[in-house]
Structure 1
Amino acid sequence: MHTILVPVDGSDHASKAISIACDLAEKYDGRIVLLHILADGKGAADLLGLSVAKTFPPKLKEQLKLAASRTTQPAPEAVLRLIGEKILDQARAKVTRRGVEAEVAPISVGSPAENILIAQEKLSASMIVMGCRGVTDATQSSHGSVSNTVFAKATCTCLSVK
């Protein structure tokens, strides 16, 4: 059975990556491992812009709106964890609705690219399917800096989704 690692961050590209990973898992008898790395350093306004934000519980939305109106400082880790759990719950539900085996890796903290590469090695994942852009929506190239780094250093097949 193939293991497909799918990093998720709540972006539209990550959502598309889940769908494609499910297609591949169905066709090639694979399982999906979902990974979320805390959006460390992201402000509340950035997090409210995630496609998944519309499904946040009202209390969390209010916390983020209040934090966004008061400061441009990064959102507190506790709030980031709540958001990460919500993103993972939604991703797992999407995968299981397709009838694909889904596992959720523990939430990581730190460099997204480094955490993805560590997870790939630890899981012996045969493929990484990830969005080409995440919550930062960098414009430096057709791929974000995280996906560029992962694709340059990964020891497995990588698929970029836009």
Structure 2
Amino acid sequence: MADKKPDSPSHEPPRGPILVPVDFSAHSEAALLLASDFADGLGCKLAVLHVVHDPQNMPGYYARMAGKKTLTRMADIAGEMLDEFMAKVQKRHPERHALHKAEVLLVKGIPVTRILQVVEKEKASMVVMGSKGATGLRHLLLGSVAEQVLGLAKLPVTIVKEQPKY
């Protein structure tokens, strides 16, 4: 029997959770579904993250719920939206076990920075996130959060586009 070399690749399943940053979009839902398939197949946990960001970056982002709750803190509104998003996806996909056992995280800050911090804190094994694929001048000036995470992360990152509806 040959001894395993210390520098040979390990074929053990990932130990940390699969982190799925979401923004409540259809792209995020597609990423969440793919990540739940990965988690079920690999036998690891799923961590769903939403970053509450400065409204100067995206004014009106939480506006759809803020109308009836004008004095509610932005983090509270985002928390309600995250709970509703998860409940909606779980209801539509009762067969996805990892999705129903997912840890849900809500943090404040700049999305790219906070996603990478949560990766480290949670010891994530990979990141799966959606992207709408912005193009043109806006993309050149800002870049997408997904692209920035892809470029800066030190672990596997999968970018998911919304699945076409036929």
> What amino acid maps onto 1:5 in structure 2?
L
Task: Give 3-state SS (helix, strand or coil) of 2:20's partner.
Answer: strand
Q: Whole-Å Cα distance in 2 between the matches of residues 77 and 118 of structure 1? A: 27
Q: Does 1:16 align with 2:30?
A: yes
Q: Does 1:35 align with 2:49?
A: yes
Query: Once the 2 structures are TM-superposed, how far is the Cα of residue 61 of structure 1 from its aligned partner?
Result: 6.1
Q: Whole-Å Cα distance in 2 between the matches of residues 13 and 39 of structure 1? A: 19
Report 1:1-162 matches (<5 A). 1-41=15-55, 42-44=58-60, 46-47=61-62, 60=65, 62-63=67-68, 78=73, 80-93=74-87, 94-95=89-90, 97=94, 98-100=96-98, 101-105=101-105, 107-133=106-132, 138-139=134-135, 140=139, 144-162=143-161
More helix by share: 1
Task: Give 3-state SS (helix, strand or coil) of 2:32's partner.
Answer: helix
> What amino acid maps onto 2:153 in structure 1?
A
Pairwise CA RMSD: 2.7
* Structure 1 residues 110 and 39, CA gap change in structure 2 (3 angstroms): closer
Q: Whole-Å Cα distance in 2 between the matches of residues 99 and 88 of structure 1? A: 19
Q: Whole-Å Cα distance in 2 between the matches of residues 117 and 36 of structure 1? A: 12
What are the ranges of 5 or more consecutive residues in structure 2 without an aligned counterpart? 1-14, 162-166
Q: Whole-Å Cα distance in 2 between the matches of residues 112 and 77 of structure 1? A: 21
* Structure 1 residues 87 and 8, CA gap change in structure 2 (3 angstroms): farther
Q: Whole-Å Cα distance in 2 between the matches of residues 113 and 77 of structure 1? A: 25
Identity of aligned residues (%): 33
Taking structure 2 as the reference length, the TM-score comes to: 0.69
> What amino acid maps onto 2:102 in structure 1?
A
Task: Give 3-state SS (helix, strand or coil) of 1:36's partner.
Answer: strand
* Structure 1 residues 62 and 87, CA gap change in structure 2 (3 angstroms): closer
The number of aligned residues is 135
Contact residue 53 and residue 110 of structure 2 kept, 8 A:
no
Q: Deviations over 1:76-101 (max 9, x none)?
A: 871x3233212321344335832212
